[in-house]
Amino acid sequence: MEENEQRQEEDEERNFNTQGTKTTHLHSCRQCGKSFRRKSKLKKHRKTHAGEKPYTCTECGKSFSQLDSYKQHQKTHEDKRDHECLQCGKSFTTAGHLKIHQRIHTGEKPYKCSYCEKSFSQSSHLKSHERIHTGEKPYHCTQCGKSYKDKSSLTYHLLVHTGEKPFTCTQCGHDFSSSTILRRHMRIHTNEKPYACLFCEKRFLSLSDCKRHQKIHTGERGHVCLECGKSFTQSGSLKIHQRIHTGEKPHKCSYCEKSFSRSSHLKSHERIHTGEKPYCCPPCQKSFKDSWSLTYHLLVHTGEKPFSS
């Protein structure tokens, strides 16, 4: 069935290419009005309305509407990792992935940007970075028309339309929309903090948290609020701050009338309605609805008192 759809899609793509700039008939969804150049794309889109999920995982029974999401989910069950890093003990499914990982330890960055001084450990990261300079966004969403500079960003964006979260935590069963977020979440269970601050002994779960922390040492605050003069280390922090002045609360609760200025506040609030507590304490198995509650609780086990003078 999927093979026939793929063949039909290729035929339609060929027909479109031979037509050049001629006007192409669009196939419109009767439920939401979105239009698609290919009938096969419309057929896939309709599954999001019908709730149809024809792709079922034989390992755990989860079902998906898109083949790509199904394939990504299946990888979470694979455990053949024969290539082990001698530095830290991490294992990988291919020798190529191990080689790329080892550059974390060696600091090797063989791929240099043609436009600036930056260099990268992976060629794909270089290509994605150079598109910041060129403005190129070759990956297009057929459902809403948004464009992205790399395929992974488009793949992640498509989950907004499907609502699927194909990556499952084997420890607590919580689902995630990307493998990166799952890996970061797993560090809560393992207590792994691979990113060390260059200025002090603190370590962090994610690289972004580490970089944000390091700006405390460097004093870098390049984003200034024009209303009150406050400065911030990140443009995202400035944008959230500005909502204090504008009163904007774009994140609306699906269960009640409340709205929030931050998406994280909305997620935490909605868990009051759902009862969901995805953050689990490894030592005692207590669960919490947000990460900061878990972080605060962990101090009970460590005896650490970070707020004492």
Q: pLDDT digits over 74-91, tens only?
A: 776 765 667 888 888 888
Position 79 scores a pLDDT of 59
- pLDDT by residue (tens digit) across 217-237? 888 888 889 989 888 878 888
Phi/psi region, residue 229 (left: phi>0; alpha: psi -120 to 50; beta: rest), is left
The residue-averaged pLDDT of 39-61 equals 72
Q: How far is CA 23 from CA 15, 18, 26, in A?
A: 12, 12, 9
Position 151 scores a pLDDT of 82
Higher pLDDT, 68 or 158: 158
| Structural domains for the chain | 195-302 (3.30.160.60)
Higher pLDDT, 82 or 98: 98
The residue-averaged pLDDT of 236-264 equals 91
Position 301 scores a pLDDT of 85
- pLDDT by residue (tens digit) across 253-301? 999 999 999 888 898 899 999 999 988 998 899 998 888 888 888 888 8
Position 30 scores a pLDDT of 66
198-202, 285-289, 305-309: range with lowest mean pLDDT: 305-309
Position 220 scores a pLDDT of 83
Dist. CA 129–CA 122, nearest whole Å:
11
The letter for the amino acid at 219 is G
Q: What's the pTM? A: 0.38
Partner residues linked to 252 by β-bridges: 259
Structure tokens at 108: 């090797």
44-48, 119-123, 196-200, 237-241: range with lowest mean pLDDT: 44-48
The residue-averaged pLDDT of 147-173 equals 83
**Spatial CA neighbour of 259 closest among 272, 249, 269:** 249
Q: Quickly state the pLDDT bin for 308 (edges 50, 70, 90).
A: low
